[in-house]
Each structure stands twice: as C-alpha cells, then as structure tokens.
Amino acid sequence: MAEPRTPEEVVARARRAADLPDLDGAISGCFACPRLVTWREEVARTRRAAFRDQEYWGRPVPGFGVSDARIAILGLAPAAHGGNRTGRIFTGDRSGDVLFAALHRAGLANQPTSVARDDGLALRETRIFSAVRCAPPDNKPTPGERDTCAPWLHRELALIRPTLRVVVALGAFAWAAWWPALRAVYGIHPPSPRPAFGHGAHWSGTAVPEVLGCYHVSQQNTFTGRLTPRMLDEVFTRAKQVAGVD
C-alpha cells in the first residue's frame, strides 16, 4: 500500500502492520495530516541555527524501545528540533535529557543521554511513543490530528499487549489519549467520568495496564521545579513495581 494520506488509509495500514518494525516503517511514511506535514517539513527545511549543518528527519517519529515492553511511556508529540530533527522520540532536546536521565537512574536505559539515533541508547523492559507522531506547531495538535493518528498508537499498543503492564502518561494530552485505547485495543468501555489527570494520578482495571499520570518532562515543568528528578524517580519506581520489573 502507498503511504497513508487520509485518515481511512491510516486505519487500514495500521491494521495491517504485522510487527513493530513494519509499524515503525509505515508510521514514518505517513502524510495524513496536511497541517503537520507542512510544519514538519518547514522546520526541517529552515532548521534552528545550532543545527544548521544537520539533515533533519522531518517525518513522523515512530516508537522506540523493546518489543516485549512491560512499561510504556506515552508522550504528546515529537519536538520540532528534537525528535523531528533526530528521528527518535525524546532525542536531542532538553525533555529527553530529563527523561532518559531518569530512566537510567531507574535501570531502564543503558545510558543517561539521548542525542542521536546511533548513540548506542538501549532501553530495558520499556517502549516510548507519542499520541501524535508528527511535531505540531506550538506543541499543540488539534483534536482531529490526535484522532487521525490514534490508529498508529492503538496498533502499537496491540502489538505489545501480551507483555504490557503499565503506561506512564506524560501530561494531560497523553492521559486523555489513553482512554480510547481501552476500547480500541482491549475491547472495554473507558471509565466514565474519565479519571482526572494529575501528577501521581493512577487508574487500574481488570486485565488492562495500569495508567500512571506524570507531569510532562517539558522545560516548562522541569525548569520551574514543577517536576523534579525525585518526582520522576517516584513515578518510575511505581511503574517498575506495577510491571514486576526488578
């Protein structure tokens, strides 16, 4: 099938993805959201001065991590000069610096930094992906873009469903993106009313992953002290406990 260019084609291609490498390749070739395609390519063309000599990825950013993950980390979307530049989620930006340092302290990453796709970073028991796979202007995808991208998320969750035990939702957008997955992936009704997002919020059901809320690792939160390394360590300690990871 050609590269997806409509929401219907995203649905069909996601459904056909046989495994994570197939899914990752299909996501990387998606053109279904005109506004985001324009933006990701514009950013890749104009570049930030500090990265002027680099070739930007400029495409959707697939998930990263192991295929039998017990822990999933769900973010919002790639950063314009982070994932959209390097081609790997949370790679090459300040948010990633904070996240991977915490994962390394938790024993879930083999190194505390994430700077490029060939930097040797490997995760343990963990996979990271975002609700929307293209960098959006102002980090704000529209509800329509979120819904168009959801089949990629749902297929990724379905492929790691056998091992997945806990999802860490980074921020309110990711928290909200989780609930439709309950119906799409697990065939159960989402709770009503939806549990409110907050740092430390958690929800568990029967035979579905537990969900933990965590403030997003954005500079807005980490530079202001709203989210501290200790708070992140507590979230990942809890995630490991839930997932049965040593």
Pick out residues in 121-140 that bind ligand SF4 (CB under 6 A): 132-134
Query: Cβ of residue 53: shortest distance to ligand SF4, in angstroms?
Result: 26
Q: Is 71 exposed, middle or buried (0-12, 13-18, 19+ CB in 10 A)?
A: buried
Exposed / middle / buried, residue 238 (Cβ in 10 Å: 0-12, 13-18, 19+): middle
Q: Does 93 bind ligand SF4 (CB under 6 A)?
A: no
Per-residue binder mask for ligand SF4 (CB under 6 A), 171-210, x = binder: ----------------------------------------
At which residue do the structure tokens 């822990």 appear?
Answer: 71
CA dist 102 and 231 (Å) reads 10
Q: Which member of 33, 109, 128, 181 binds ligand SF4 (CB under 6 A)?
A: 33
* HSE-CB for 193 with a 13 A CA cutoff: 3
Note whether 30 binds ligand SF4 by CB under 6 A.
yes
Q: Supply 141's token pair.
A: 């995808």
- Of the ranges 33-41, 93-101, 196-204, 228-236, which one interacts with ligand SF4 (CB under 6 A)? 33-41
Identify which of 173, 194, 219, 141 has the alpha carbon closest to the alpha carbon of residue 74.
173
Contact set for ligand SF4, span 4-23 (CB under 6 A): 10
Tell me: cis bond preceding 136? Omega within 30 of 0 counts.
no
Nearer to ligand SF4, 11 or 109 (CB): 11
Question: With helix as H, strand as E and coil as C, how does 130-173 read?
Answer: ECCCCCCHHHCCCHHHHHHHHHHHHHHHHHHCCCCCEEEEECHH
Q: Please, what is the minimum distance in Å from the beta carbon of residue 22 to ligand SF4?
A: 15
Q: Which of residues 146-175 bind ligand SF4 (CB under 6 A)?
A: 148-149, 152
Taking the complex as a whole, how short is the minimal distance between the CB of residue 124 and ligand SF4, in angstroms? 27
Query: Among residues 58, 60, 92, 171, which is the contact residue for ligand SF4, using CB under 6 A?
Result: 60
Residues linked to residue 73 through DSSP beta bridges, in sequence order: 128, 168
In the complex, least distance from residue 32 CB atom to ligand SF4, rounded to whole angstroms: 4
Identity of the residue, 30 or 243, whose beta carbon is nearer to ligand SF4 in the bound complex: 30
Chain residues binding ligand SF4 by CB under 6 A are 10, 27, 30-33, 36-37, 60, 132-134, 145, 148-149, 152
